[in-house]
Chains A and B, each alone.
Chain A
């Protein structure tokens, strides 16, 4: 049905096995970087970051042998492009679902792709309106070059450098039917 666009080259850069291994490694490096007694919680940025967050939370709970609370953050109200919409779509407000107090916890902020850094900025502002965590650490599946803000991730799954006119799309079973990372 999309014959017109068939000239676009689509490249799968990560498959489901690789993605799973990366998330496991992310969880391991988070655990080894954190002091033992610390209270950890994972908060994913809607929508793909939410799924990454849940998977990361499950792995962390497994390794630490205790329940690591997970939540979902909707950053739409904190975006910087409400008055100047970017791209084709329109951001939609959905609910933030964090069923625990974030005060004094170390929050692992999870997102699928770190690119310009603007989402992370919005997420940090949204988080501190909810409380005062001891620290916020950023964990991303893909670190794509092209930062516009002075923001870097603490835990990176996979680094890519693609031209600005190409997009990096992370697909998850839960939202897209299969696990893969595509550049197109």
Chain B
């Protein structure tokens, strides 16, 4: 009779470090939770008291507009106190190590650390060394879980489910943490993912990923349900992976011409910031198939959900710990 209660999913994670190790039902749970937060942003009082008294620090060692503001706004809407940290105005420029910085923040009673760093694995390292919850806001070429979550959230919102959808991730895969998190999220939810780009921008270990690879966008454009155009990350390109920007656009850019061959209802995505006219033409980025701004909007709900869940997970762990201490005593 009370069956329903017993089968209920329980979120136990205190950190969100990546999507690679998440079970499909955990990803679904984050998305379902995010749906409950959407409504907060549409009403006149855009705030709930849920994380009142909690402190969230945005620890960004790399530049960011969308993600940093989105996390700060998400925390604000849940009534948490938010502290913004940027590398330039901190003691990091005086030579303080990452761990020392984090330990100091921990000593001040921070509940959640949202971290972005140019080195992969930093969020995991932090989670093992401090008692706060850690949320990965992008680490090196590793993962950017909340971006992928908002991507799959947006697709699910449009299509109901990702099962059987054909999705292409196009461009600079090698330098893209968004691509990696997307691959995990999308395939775990049942989509077929194809990576598209020049061989020079494919990751070395692409064979180990659950994806197909294509070196020609024209070969597959007609069959796609979703296309995710990645930004060419000039700041990370060491060598010359393609002869010229023009040539790249010609083969891999999402142009008005190319869109004519795509399905009528293809979903066009981009994680931002956009290089207009390079990986995507302005008419397409602003066109009827584009959900680029919807992605940004959904990012807020998804990040509220993530901040809520890691705090809920931390509370669950605390409870289990207290119980076992009681038993020992």
Contact = CB atoms under 8 A, between A and B. Distances in A.
Contact of B36 (A76, A82, A83, A90): A76
Interface string B290-309: 00000000000000010010
B8 A92 contact: yes
B234 interface: no
A95 B36 contact: yes
B281 interface: no
Interface stretch (A50-58, A152-160, A168-176): A168-176
A78 to B, nearest CB: 6
Interface string B10-39: 110000000000000000010011011111
B49 A89 contact: no
A125 B49 contact: yes
Contacts of A89: 5, 8, 10
A82 B35 contact: no
B1 interface: yes
B48 A78 contact: yes
Contact of A85 (B37, B38, B40, B316): B316
Contact of A95 (B8, B38, B48): B38
B11 A129 contact: no
Contacts of A82: 50-51, 311-312, 315
Interface-centre pick from A10, A92, A97 (highest chain B CB count, 10 A): A92
Contacts of A175: 4
A146 interface: no
A82 B308 CA distance: 9
A33 interface: no
A91 B9 CA distance: 10
Interface string B306-328: 00100110011001000000000
Given A84-B315, A85-B319, A130-B45, A90 B8 contact: yes
A95 B315 CA distance: 22
Nearest to B111: A83
A96 B40 CA distance: 9
A178 to B, nearest CB: 9
Contacts of A77: 36, 40, 48-50, 78, 308
Nearest to B40: A77
B33 A93 contact: yes
Report, as a range, how many residues of chain B touch the other chain.
20 to 34
Contact of B47 (A95, A129, A131): A129
Contacts of B319: 84-85
Contact of A90 (B48, B78, B316): B316
B40 to A, nearest CB: 8
A94 B35 contact: yes
A26 to B, nearest CB: 24
A74 interface: yes
Nearest to A175: B4
B316 A131 contact: no
A94 to B, nearest CB: 5
* Main SS class of interface, A: loop
A103 to B, nearest CB: 10
A176 B4 contact: yes
Contact of A129 (B8, B48, B78, B316): B48
Nearest to B78: A77
Given A93-B308, A131-B44, A85 B36 contact: no
A94 B315 contact: no
Residue among A10, A93, A95, A167 with the highest chain B CB neighbour number at 10 A: A93
A92 B1 contact: no
Nearest to A86: B319
Nearest to B12: A90
B43 interface: yes
A92 B9 CA distance: 9
Contacts of B51: 82
Interface in A40-94: 74, 76-78, 82-85, 88-90, 92-94
A182 interface: yes
Contacts of B311: 82-83
Contacts of A129: 43, 45, 47-48
B31 to A, nearest CB: 11
Interface in A137-151: none
Contacts of A85: 312, 315-316, 319
Q: Ordered nearest first, which 8 A-B pairs have the shortest CB separation?
A: A93-B36, A77-B48, A77-B50, A129-B45, A90-B10, A93-B33, A95-B36, A94-B36
Given A89-B10, A90-B312, A93-B305, 20 more contacts: A74-B36, A77-B50, A78-B48, A78-B49, A78-B50, A84-B319, A85-B315, A85-B319, A89-B8, A92-B9, A94-B36, A95-B38, A95-B39, A96-B36, A129-B45, A130-B43, A130-B44, A169-B1, A169-B2, A176-B4
